[in-house]
Every structure is written in C-alpha cells, then in structure tokens.
Amino acid sequence: MEDAVAGLSAAEPATTVPPAPDARERPPGVREAARRSLDLAPASSGRIRRASIYFGLLTLALAGPAAILLLDMARHLGSLDDAIVLAAGGFGFGDPGQVDPAALGMLRLCMFGAVVGLFAVSIEAQIVAATILGGVASGRPISVRGALRVSRIVFWQVVGASILVGLLRLVVDVITTAFLNPDSFGSVQIAQVWQWTVETVVTAPFAFFIAGIVIGGVGAIESLRRSTRIAGARWRLALLVAATGVAGAFIQDFALGAGLDQLARVGTTAGLGLNGPAHVAVITVLVVLVAIVAIGSLVVTVAALIVAPQVVVFLGMTGHSSGLDRATTATGGYRWTSPTRMVTWQMIVLIVFGVLVALVGLISI
C-alpha cells in the first residue's frame, strides 16, 4: 500500500497561488469569499488530485474485503438485496438459514471494521483538504505527506469537535422532523428543505472549527469558541460557510446515489451480474472494486469544496496560519525524526483484520 502511494509526496509542479492574506486587510465580503474559494480549486488541483489517489486506494483497502465477501454471499443467495439485509441484521428478505452463521458473522464483523476505518478516512480527508487549501491560500504550498503529518497531530481534536457539532445537528434534525411531522412524499421534501435551512442557521456559529484547529493551531473547544466570535463578527460569511457544508453533504449523497444507479444500469446493459458464469461474476467484482476506488477518491475532492470557503474566510478574518507550521517543522512538542507514514499502524491493523476476516468468511460460505 505504501509503495503505491510513496510518490505522492514527491516534488510537485509549481502552481499559481493566491497572495497570502494580511491580518490587517479588510475581511472579505460574501461575494469576494465565494470568488476566492473558487480560485482555490485550480491552484490546489494538483495536490488534491494526488490526495484523491491516496484516499481512493485506502478506501479500497478498507472496504474491498467486505465488498468481496458481500458479493460472494449475494451470489450464494441469488440476490444482492437479501445479502445486504441479512448483513444489516434484518430478516425482511432472504432466509438466514441459507447462509452459514459463521460466514454471516464474519461479514458483519468485516463490515464493522470497514465502517470504523472509513469514518477515520472521512475525518482525515477534511483535515488534509483544509491543510492543502490553507497552504495554497497562504502562499506556502504543502505536500500530501505534509498534510498527513498535520492530520496525525490534530485528528482526535477534529473528531471531538465534529462529534459536538454533529450532536447539535442531530438534535436539530430530530426536533425539526418532529415539529413538521411529514406524512407524504411532498411533505417529506418540504420538511427536508426546512431541516437543511434550520441546520444551516443553528450550526453557522461553529462553521469554522476545522480551520481553527488545522490552520489556527488551537484545540477543539477553543476552535469552537473562536468560531462563534468569527461568526458573530461576520454572520453572513458564517451562513455561507455553513450552507456550503450542508449543500456539500447533500451533493455528495446525491452524486453517490446517482453514480451507483448509473453503474448498475451499465452493468446490466453489459450483461454483468453475480448469478451468471464464474468469469462474469469475477468481472462484476472487479468493476465494483474500481467503483470503490472512484468513490474513495471523491471523498477528498468533495471535502475540498466544502472547506474552501471556511479556509478563505478564516484566513481573511484572522490572518493566522501558524497551525500549518506543523506540516514541515517540529512545533508544539512534536519532533519528526523520520518521514511521516502514509498509512498509520492503526489503519494497517484494520486493513489486515478485514482481509483475514473476509478470508474466513469466504471459506465458510
């Protein structure tokens, strides 16, 4: 795995970057912040593309074993839907007696490990995207390995702040749904729009916590406090950043659903499937694995689109980027005596665990 991504931290071609922000300059307006966010995309495209390769391969290593085991069980049952429902613990479809209990247990265990790993990947993707964009925006480009170095330092701080904001978002969603009480397809759509609107307004004060941790160099609680101060000073910018995050999550879900639907249509047209000859089933599995890589590579791309306004506004409002020093120098008590590992030992353990569990499950089916 590390050999495949070792070249990602090699020398990168020079790019035209926006000028470093000045802490004394006038904070950007909404239009200017949106324009700067869009300007970050072409300036950071090379590094984001390299990061997307890394995350695509890492996603494959984590989710691939579970996907292979799930598809093999689907071939055994004759239905992918039945395999998914059984793996999720439901018995609305399929007969659990058709599957060896050991195989079903291995599938659930393998999927659990994959979910844990993919959660960590989603957090790290946001950190890496914020670090790369922050480096470009401040005129100090940072490599993928340097961004991963920052991620290893601030990972749990971002997790803690994300959980706090996520709990707030969950409470808002529950209250909004209970208040609107949608009972039809049309009312569900309207309720969803109201839910997104309320969620944007309520979470706007905490919209800058990732930039505060990654770029500002502060802890989780302090980043939330500073975020509220920034939001209070420029509430329109806070709404812009919060709305981008909500819209980005919706676009990501929509794009994922549409992509999987198109993949299923193409596979059906091409005669792919799990119930045919063995060679057709093998080709189908390979196509699914390629799709997993593509989905994983999109994680950091979407994360970059979501955090770009946050990075621009944070730098424009504060002018502080000392947190990025951790990408290249020993600061805050951290001393880098060896190159940062592209894949952590914890992630390697998860990957090996998934492979071994999947092998046991395949033998049991």
Range of the domain at 113: 32-364
Contact partners, residue 103, CB within 8 Å, separation at least 6? 69, 73, 361, 362, 364, 365
Instruction: Look at residue 9 and tell me if it is in a domain.
Output: no
Amino acid at 60: L
Question: Does residue 10 fall inside a structural domain?
Answer: no
Distance between CA 115 and CA 124 in Å, rounded?
14
Residue 189 domain flag: yes
Average pLDDT over residues 69-93: 75
361 vs 106: CA distance, rounded Å: 5
The predicted model gives 256-268 an average pLDDT of 65
> pLDDT tier at 254 (50, 70, 90 boundaries)?
low
On whether the CB atoms of residues 150 and 214 are closer than 8 A, the answer is yes
Average pLDDT on 280-300 reads 87
d(C-alpha 271, C-alpha 268), whole Å: 5
Percent of the chain beyond pLDDT 90? 28
Q: Is the pLDDT of residue 18 over 50?
A: no
Q: Point out the least confidently predicted range of 7-11, 88-92, 344-348.
A: 7-11
- pLDDT digit string, tens, across residues 212-234: 999 998 899 999 999 999 888 88
94, pLDDT greater than 50: no
Length of the chain: 365
Which region among 6-10, 44-48, 161-165 has the lowest average model confidence (pLDDT)? 6-10
CA-CA distances (angstroms) from residue 60 to 15, 52, 118, 225?
Answer: 30, 12, 10, 37
Give the best-scoring range by mean pLDDT among 5-14, 314-323, 353-362: 353-362
Q: How confident is the model at residue 118 (pLDDT cuts 50, 70, 90)?
A: very high
Considering the domain boundaries, does residue 15 fall inside one? Answer: no
pLDDT tens track for 154-188: 999 999 999 999 898 888 888 887 777 766 555 66
Residue with the larger pLDDT of the pair 320 and 261: 320
> Is residue 20 included in any domain, yes or no?
no
Average pLDDT of the segment spanning 256-261: 66
Distances (CA, A) of 290 to 118, 273, 355: 17, 15, 17
Does any domain span residue 2?
A: no
The rounded distance, in Å, linking the Cα atoms of 292 and 29 is 39
Tell me the two tokens of residue 45: 């495209």
* HSE toward the beta carbon, residue 333, CA cutoff 13 A: 2
Percentage above 70 pLDDT, the chain: 77
- Are 25 and 122 within 8 A, CB to CB? no
254's tokens: 């929509």
Model pLDDT, residue 321: 84
Q: How many structural domains does the chain have?
A: 1
| pLDDT bracket for residue 279 (50, 70, 90) | confident
Three-state SS across 307-340?
HHHHHHHHHHHHCCCHHHHHHCCCCCCCCCCCCC
What the block records as the tokens of 252 is 């990501």
Rounded to an integer, the average pLDDT of 62-81 is: 86
Q: Give residue 184's pLDDT.
A: 56
Identify whether 201 is part of a domain: yes
Q: Which residue has the higher pLDDT, 29 or 231?
A: 231
- pLDDT average, residue stretch 130-143: 90
In a domain, 156, yes or no: yes
> Which burial class, exposed, middle or buried, applies to 222 when counting CB atoms under 10 A from its CB (0-12, 13-18, 19+)?
middle
